[in-house]
Amino acid sequence: MPEITIADAMKFMEDSLVKVGASNDHALQISEVILDSELRGSPDHGLYFFKLVIDWHQDGTIKPDPNTEIIRDSAVSTSIEGDGGCGVIGMNIAVEMSIAKAKKIGMAAGSVRNSGNVIALAPYVQRAAEQGLIAFACSAFRHPIIPPTGGLTGKFGTNPIAYAAPAGKHPPYILDMATSAIAAAKVWEASTNGETIPEGLVEGPDGSPLTNASEYKLGSSVILPMAGARGYGLALMADIFGNVLNGSEWGHFLWLMDPEEFQPLDDFKRTMDQELDRIKESKPKPGVDEIFFPGERSQRRMAKLRGQGVLPLNDTAWEAMEIVSQSLSVTMPSTIN
């Protein structure tokens, strides 16, 4: 497993994005979210996924230099036109403005319309939690991936949702999940590696189980909703927040609440710690060393790697970087092991 420095990983991504037309500022913002996923231990949305982001900038799926602008700004809400750019750009604006509003009046929401892939939602809700706020976010795109329960035709993207809440001695609670039974990027990664996927996650055009990842075809195969009808309901709700609300085909939504509206923040954090302690005290199964709450393990990993300044990569990510390097004439980072 190759290891590179975090600084070199960032430089590689920023240089590559600038080569495909992104501004220096946008390149930095996008690279930070890719890095965040890699550090959390989600390589399918890390530097492997970065190659897809580059491809989308080149083939017109994502506009390299969008005219992102605020189109509505009230005391409680912010609406942003994404102009077909990467979702990271609009979501960063939504987070910044919503945090300020929620701290001022107790609650706020942000909406981004006509915006491309947001990559991952965890970094946005975590930023809010680190400011003492409870957060919800979702992203929705009308892509033929998830079918409604009982259907053969995909009507939704993987429509992820995320939640976060601050704590005291513990890191924030962070839940970031697709509403599909498996993330599409995991299927693509499995296909790249020639791997199979468990039965019951993906179906072929006739509804038969599909386990050979290389046989998955966007538009004919479907990825099932997580937990059956429950996941379908969540995917639709994400679409209502992300798209119906703002008249979009691909959009994102953020909602923040200040716990101070109900009790002092220190009291909330203390009771959050008590709740997380109560969960972690559960008797573990044989072979399980520790019970984790959502987001704890990934934040622990991220803090450790940031402290070391090192980024371990799997071979799939390294190979994807090599393809980007060769196609754009961007120098590959040097390995340190």
Each residue's pLDDT, cut to its tens digit, for the chain (337 residues) gives 899 999 999 999 999 999 999 999 999 999 999 999 999 999 999 999 999 999 999 999 999 999 999 999 999 999 999 999 999 999 999 999 999 999 999 999 999 999 999 999 999 999 999 999 999 999 999 999 999 999 999 999 999 999 999 999 999 999 999 999 999 989 988 988 899 999 999 999 999 999 999 999 999 999 999 999 999 999 999 999 999 999 999 999 999 999 999 999 999 999 999 999 999 999 999 999 999 999 999 999 999 999 999 999 999 999 999 999 999 999 999 999 6
Residue 337 confidence (pLDDT): 67
Q: How many CB atoms lie within 10 A of CB 151?
A: 12
> Which of 108, 122, 228 is closest to 171 using CA atoms?
122
Other C-beta atoms closer than 10 Å to the C-beta of 86 total: 29
Instruction: Say which DSSP state 41 is in.
Output: T
CA distances from 66 to 18, 84, 114, 126 (A): 13, 6, 11, 25
pLDDT at residue 119, rounded to an integer: 97
What pLDDT shows up at residue 229?
97
Buried b (16+ CB within 10 A) or exposed e, 202-238: bbbeeeeebeebeebeeeebbbbbbeeeebbebbbbb
Burial class of residue 286 in the structure, from the number of CB atoms within 10 Å of its CB (0-12 exposed, 13-18 middle, 19+ buried): exposed
pLDDT value for 140: 97
* Cα–Cα distance for residue pair 160/173, rounded to 1 Å: 17
84 phi and psi, to 5 degrees? Answer: 75, 10
Q: How far apart are CA 258 and CA 104, in angstroms?
A: 9
Tokens 């002092």 belong to which residue? 264
The amino acid occupying position 86 is C
Nearest to 110 by CA among 137, 140, 145, 146: 137
Round to whole Å and give the CA distance between 269 and 174: 14
Distance CA 34, CA 118 (A): 10
Architecture of domain 68-257: 2-Layer Sandwich (3.30)
Residue 47 DSSP symbol:
H
Q: Is 198 helix (H, G, I), strand (E, B) or coil?
A: coil
Q: What is the pLDDT of residue 26?
A: 98
Q: Which two three-digit tokens encode residue 8?
A: 């070199």
DSSP letter, residue 144: S
Domain boundaries, the chain: 68-257
* DSSP codes of every residue in 226-289: TTTHHHHHHHHHHHHHHTGGGT-SEEEEEEEE-GGGTS-HHHHHHHHHHHHHHHHTSPPPTT--
- Counting Cα atoms < 13 Å in the Cβ hemisphere of 139 gives 27
Task: For residue 272, give the amino acid letter.
Answer: M
Eight-class DSSP state of 150: T
Residue 218's SS3 state is: strand
Q: Are strands 202-203 and 69-73 parallel, antiparallel or unpaired?
A: unpaired
pLDDT value for 15: 98
* This prediction's pTM: 0.96
